[in-house]
Structure 1
Amino acid sequence: METRKNVFYNVLLAITQVLFPLITFPYLARTLGPEHVGVLNFAESFAKYFVLLAALGIPIYGVREVAKAASDRTLLTKTFSEIFIINALGTLLLSLVFLVFIIAVPQLAAEQSLFSWALGYFILQVFQLEWFFSGMNQFKFIAIRSLVIRLCFIAAVFLFIRNTNDYVNYFRMQVGLAVILAAFNGKRLWDLLDFSGFSFARLELKKHIKPMALLFLTIFTISVYFSLDTILLGFLADNESVGYYSSALKLNRLFIGVLSAISVAMFPGLVSLYHKGEKEAFVLLVKQCFYVLVSLSMPLVLGIVTCAPEIIHILLGTAFDRAILPLQITAPLILIISMSGIFGFQILSAVGKDKSILISALIGMFISIILAFLLVPTLKEEGAAITILLTELAVCIAFVFFTRKEISLSNYTTVFFQQLLGLIPYLGIVFLFKLFVPTLLLRLLVIGVFSLAWFVVLQLFILPDTVFRTQWNRLADRFNKEE
């Protein structure tokens, strides 16, 4: 029951992550234009890359350790304090490196005001503490907190960004909201932790260094292909190319975020089941997650590839036509990254196979670097899109290879091909309404409604023993009992 609630709140949070950018991003794109959107995304990617490095593997390690210590408040307080201090020290050190970059690198020095605010945003991310609240299964708190912050951000965007010269205000708002977020977190921390007997002398920072170092190396290699793509495009091409590529990737990552929320919510439960020795329950939960993610991601990929021109023109306008092909190229990432989330950051991480994750990430890093320098200088945003697609595919294949050593994957291929065959009617729906519905928005809405109808029919009435059918039957039985 708790896992279902966690999934519900995490998916709710992810849906807000989709809906709110769909309100603000088209406005920002039309108000600021491709070049200023590009420089903003360049600065944001740069800052988030430093956030990722300063985290030192904590987004995975911290969740795991907090989940283990959650039942003992004294141990929990000690564990949190040790991990937070390590994170804070890493942030302090890297903030000095960030400052040197702002002064010494011409591309950053040309936008010194923007990157100075980006530095403030980076420093304040140490107080976000998503790893702690996820490990404590505080998904309801995370969802409510984020909803409030995002509502404030939407209001601020329309109030403070009115023309192309206001692009620096984007990071000023981010800094202000990060301060509010820190206040929310401080209040909640005080309720969950007990600092009455706290002592710095009792802290054991060293015991975390070795496991965190391995995860940090993994995260660093992942960051080369997952976070550096936009940064490399900025250096190897230009801000305008960054604007087209980042806009396309951002749209796909909105859906990736919703699907990843399912994996994130299940992760603490998987860790707990594995360490309790309940392998059958562990495998069943993984299979259910796999089914849900595959059945949702495949139609999304098909819809984005076939309707990319309509999506770009409605959301961003005709000025972003160059984002259409990158959007189509990167659409399969919705499926690929969902699979990586299951096989890499669910199974392999839950069973402690961090070295396998590291090897997979190293494969991705080398492929990414080679392809980026080969493709980006000439193909620009399209080259960056091809690079991230092939890189993530290679990493996903590596994850599957290592996962096969831990659990049997015989039933997974059956599910995959069942869902693949189920895509055929979606193609008919798309091409039918593309021919007969002339208005862009109406066309997308009609395609969406009929595609949803086919999804319900496929999952509830055609395919045997689906997760959706099981849940539907449970709801029906509960409703009948109440009557």
Structure 2
Amino acid sequence: MSKSIFKNAIYKTLLNLFNLVIPLIIGPYVVRVIGTELMGRISYTESINMYFAIFAGLGIYQYGIREISRIRDDKKKVNQLFTSLFLLGVIANLIVTPAYLIYINIYFKGAPAFPVMVIYAFNTALTAFYVEWMNEALEDYDFITIKTIIVRSIFIISTLLLIKNQQDFYKYVILNSVTLFLNYSISFARIKRKVKFDFSNLTFTKHLKSLIFIVILSNANTLYTILDKIMLGNHVSENAVSYYTYPQLVNSIVNNLLLSIVLVTVPRLSNLLGNNDEKQYENLLNKICKTYLAFLFPAAIGIFILAKEILILYGGGTQLVASTNVLRIFAAYMITAGFESILTNQVMYVKRKERILVVFILTFGLVNVVFKQILVRTGALTPETAIATTTLANFLLITTEYLYINLKLKIKFSILDFGKLKYLLYSLAFIPISYVISLVFKGFFSYIMLVVLVNGLYYFLVLYITKDEILFTFLSKFMRKKS
């Protein structure tokens, strides 16, 4: 392996850090200019569009990363597999995009969200050219990072120059689609310079079974947070969707940043299994999990403590403060989502257990549907109860996955040992520390800075004193770079 996992993680982290900064720059501005109701309309439309995008993508992204990673040392096989998967994506897109247009014309014509849905049909059509999975399978994370930073920078500048008031709402929607087109087209052009179309051994039926399971898997995942937004839009209001969406966005920004540690290892884990190196796979898996949890637990507890302050900063005022408890619950959801990502992506998926994974995710997705129906019938559906019940469903899911992995797959992997859970115990001390700070310092920015600095210093010292393996690994990497 010529590419370092550490370097890949650095590039992925840099990318996600940039994606973290973007909402902090653009989010408050767009909320002030366009308003929470119209932003809720965009979020609601995206939720509808997502269902069709799943079918248009046909699960090729996830499947392509796994399968290309296993054969990436054989250029001819890579070319042949890429050609087959790309053509399957085009065929799926030619079916799904017209279906999406028919659907919105039947059910949403005349609705306020209809024009946005028409524009988003372009996004669905673009799915055929979304070949970033090839770049990830080849571990080309430096290109992905640089390209995305440039494209998103253009988006930021264009938004600040063109979006001035509520009348520019549709300009903002179109700008999002144009940015997507630019991002996809650059990646496609890059891949075509490295991989050639090879029609000599086209195979469709061989891949369809796994792809269908992945599509079902993706649809099952929509029974979680995407379902929440649709239910809130249908049974509460667009504002309720907005109050749910912004905490979700904060959660996803931070979680995606942390998942840089995990997701860049999928190609490497798949490659190890492709070479039948089970021992190396288990060693890397446990190290990945421990590293991830060392960052996940303090981040989640930090979000819980600073929920109100984060939303004030993000919203540029107090208009999002009503979402404070939603964000606090999302902090708990983030922990369950982190465990679920490891169990799903790093274990069951790379082990080609997507069939049983579909059963698990679909089962507890349906449990979540039942939870939501109970909330609707009792009049208790709110952004808070929506994410709380989704968190519960996710907890039941990861419990089932974990039991299956240990009892059925018999992988030497634990998420319950002290070596991993100690990071949660250390992080829980942030709560009393922050409470003491709040009693002494009343200033908004001084409180935030002290909470971050004092808790960060405490966490570092605890890891240093206990000679934590993860901390010293990072320190050694850093010192090696300096020298």
TM over 0.5: same fold? yes
Give the 5 Å matches for 1:349-428. 349-376=349-376, 377-405=379-407, 406=409, 407-410=411-414, 412-428=416-432
**2:139 alignment partner in structure 1:** 137
**2:209 alignment partner in structure 1:** 210
Deviations 1:403-454 (A, max 9, x none): 2133134574212431222124312331122222222233212211222212
User: Given that residues 13 and 146 in structure 1 are in contact (C-alpha distance below 8 angstroms), is that contact kept between their aligned partners in structure 2?
Assistant: yes
Report the secondary structure of 1:352's partner residue.
coil
Q: What displacement does 1:165 show?
A: 2.5
User: Given that residues 340 and 398 in structure 2 are in contact (C-alpha distance below 8 angstroms), is that contact kept between their aligned partners in structure 1?
Assistant: yes
Q: State how far apart, in whole Å, the 2-side matches of 1:126 and 1:275 are.
A: 27
Q: State how far apart, in whole Å, the 1-side matches of 2:84 and 2:480 are.
A: 48
User: Given that residues 270 and 350 in structure 2 are in contact (C-alpha distance below 8 angstroms), is that contact kept between their aligned partners in structure 1?
Assistant: yes
User: Given that residues 336 and 398 in structure 2 are in contact (C-alpha distance below 8 angstroms), is that contact kept between their aligned partners in structure 1?
Assistant: yes
Deviations 1:99-135 (A, max 9, x none): 1232122487333221111111221133222212111
User: Given that residues 305 and 327 in structure 1 are in contact (C-alpha distance below 8 angstroms), is that contact kept between their aligned partners in structure 2?
Assistant: yes
User: Given that residues 262 and 342 in structure 2 are in contact (C-alpha distance below 8 angstroms), is that contact kept between their aligned partners in structure 1?
Assistant: yes
**2:82 alignment partner in structure 1:** 80
Give the 5 Å matches for 1:254-293. 254-293=253-292
Q: State how far apart, in whole Å, the 2-side matches of 1:244 and 1:76 are.
A: 45
Report the secondary structure of 2:212's partner residue.
helix
CA 1:56–1:153 in structure 2 vs 1: closer, same or farther (change >3 Å)?
same
**1:239 alignment partner in structure 2:** 238
The more displaced of 411-420 and 278-287 is 411-420
Q: What displacement does 1:365 show?
A: 1.3
**1:467 alignment partner in structure 2:** 470
**1:296 alignment partner in structure 2:** 295
**2:455 alignment partner in structure 1:** 451
Q: What displacement does 1:93 show?
A: 1.5
**1:89 alignment partner in structure 2:** 91
User: Given that residues 367 and 393 in structure 2 are in contact (C-alpha distance below 8 angstroms), is that contact kept between their aligned partners in structure 1?
Assistant: yes
CA 1:412–1:469 in structure 2 vs 1: closer, same or farther (change >3 Å)?
farther
Amino acid at match of 2:204: L
Q: What displacement does 1:314 show?
A: 2.2
Q: State how far apart, in whole Å, the 2-side matches of 1:227 and 1:221 are.
A: 10
**1:159 alignment partner in structure 2:** 161
CA 1:478–1:313 in structure 2 vs 1: closer, same or farther (change >3 Å)?
closer
Q: What displacement does 1:68 show?
A: 2.2
Q: What displacement does 1:252 show?
A: 0.8
Report the secondary structure of 1:404's partner residue.
helix
**1:430 alignment partner in structure 2:** 434
Q: What displacement does 1:477 show?
A: 6.5
**1:318 alignment partner in structure 2:** 318
**1:219 alignment partner in structure 2:** 218
Deviations 1:212-258 (A, max 9, x none): 12222222212222433212221122101001011111111111111
The equivalent position to 1:116 in structure 2, one of 96, 118, 127, is 118
Q: State how far apart, in whole Å, the 2-side matches of 1:240 and 1:318 are.
A: 15
Deviations 1:267-326 (A, max 9, x none): 111111122222222112111111122121111221222221212122212222321111
Q: State how far apart, in whole Å, the 2-side matches of 1:99 and 1:288 are.
A: 46
Q: State how far apart, in whole Å, the 2-side matches of 1:382 and 1:33 are.
A: 21
User: Given that residues 56 and 89 in structure 2 are in contact (C-alpha distance below 8 angstroms), is that contact kept between their aligned partners in structure 1?
Assistant: yes
User: Given that residues 108 and 115 in structure 1 are in contact (C-alpha distance below 8 angstroms), is that contact kept between their aligned partners in structure 2?
Assistant: no
CA 1:458–1:52 in structure 2 vs 1: closer, same or farther (change >3 Å)?
farther
User: Given that residues 344 and 357 in structure 1 are in contact (C-alpha distance below 8 angstroms), is that contact kept between their aligned partners in structure 2?
Assistant: yes
Amino acid at match of 2:135: F
Q: State how far apart, in whole Å, the 2-side matches of 1:258 and 1:77 are.
A: 31
User: Given that residues 63 and 131 in structure 1 are in contact (C-alpha distance below 8 angstroms), is that contact kept between their aligned partners in structure 2?
Assistant: yes
The equivalent position to 1:441 in structure 2, one of 441, 445, 465, is 445
Q: What displacement does 1:355 show?
A: 2.4
Amino acid at match of 1:442: S
User: Given that residues 62 and 132 in structure 1 are in contact (C-alpha distance below 8 angstroms), is that contact kept between their aligned partners in structure 2?
Assistant: yes
CA 1:160–1:108 in structure 2 vs 1: closer, same or farther (change >3 Å)?
farther
User: Given that residues 55 and 215 in structure 2 are in contact (C-alpha distance below 8 angstroms), is that contact kept between their aligned partners in structure 1?
Assistant: yes
User: Given that residues 56 and 127 in structure 2 are in contact (C-alpha distance below 8 angstroms), is that contact kept between their aligned partners in structure 1?
Assistant: no
User: Given that residues 38 and 239 in structure 1 are in contact (C-alpha distance below 8 angstroms), is that contact kept between their aligned partners in structure 2?
Assistant: yes
User: Given that residues 232 and 381 in structure 2 are in contact (C-alpha distance below 8 angstroms), is that contact kept between their aligned partners in structure 1?
Assistant: no
User: Given that residues 149 and 177 in structure 1 are in contact (C-alpha distance below 8 angstroms), is that contact kept between their aligned partners in structure 2?
Assistant: yes
**1:343 alignment partner in structure 2:** 343
Q: State how far apart, in whole Å, the 2-side matches of 1:59 and 1:193 are.
A: 16
Report the secondary structure of 2:35's partner residue.
helix
User: Given that residues 121 and 174 in structure 1 are in contact (C-alpha distance below 8 angstroms), is that contact kept between their aligned partners in structure 2?
Assistant: no
Deviations 1:43-71 (A, max 9, x none): 12222332223222222211111112322
User: Any stretches of 5+ residues in structure 2 without a counterpart?
Assistant: none
Q: State how far apart, in whole Å, the 1-side matches of 2:69 and 2:413 are.
A: 27
The more displaced of 301-310 and 240-249 is 301-310
Q: Percent same amino acid among aligned pairs?
A: 21
Q: What displacement does 1:382 show?
A: 1.8
Q: State how far apart, in whole Å, the 2-side matches of 1:272 and 1:152 are.
A: 36
Report the secondary structure of 2:429's partner residue.
helix
Amino acid at match of 2:465: F
CA 1:356–1:101 in structure 2 vs 1: closer, same or farther (change >3 Å)?
same
CA 1:215–1:478 in structure 2 vs 1: closer, same or farther (change >3 Å)?
closer
User: Given that residues 298 and 424 in structure 2 are in contact (C-alpha distance below 8 angstroms), is that contact kept between their aligned partners in structure 1?
Assistant: no
User: Any stretches of 5+ residues in structure 1 without a counterpart?
Assistant: none
**Normalized against structure 1, the TM-score is what?**
0.93
- Residue correspondences, number: 476
Q: State how far apart, in whole Å, the 2-side matches of 1:212 and 1:453 are.
A: 46
Amino acid at match of 2:469: T
CA 1:474–1:190 in structure 2 vs 1: closer, same or farther (change >3 Å)?
closer
Report the secondary structure of 1:109's partner residue.
coil
Report the secondary structure of 2:139's partner residue.
coil
Q: What displacement does 1:143 show?
A: 0.8
CA 1:370–1:473 in structure 2 vs 1: closer, same or farther (change >3 Å)?
same
Q: State how far apart, in whole Å, the 1-side matches of 2:358 and 2:380 are.
A: 31
User: Given that residues 225 and 388 in structure 1 are in contact (C-alpha distance below 8 angstroms), is that contact kept between their aligned partners in structure 2?
Assistant: yes
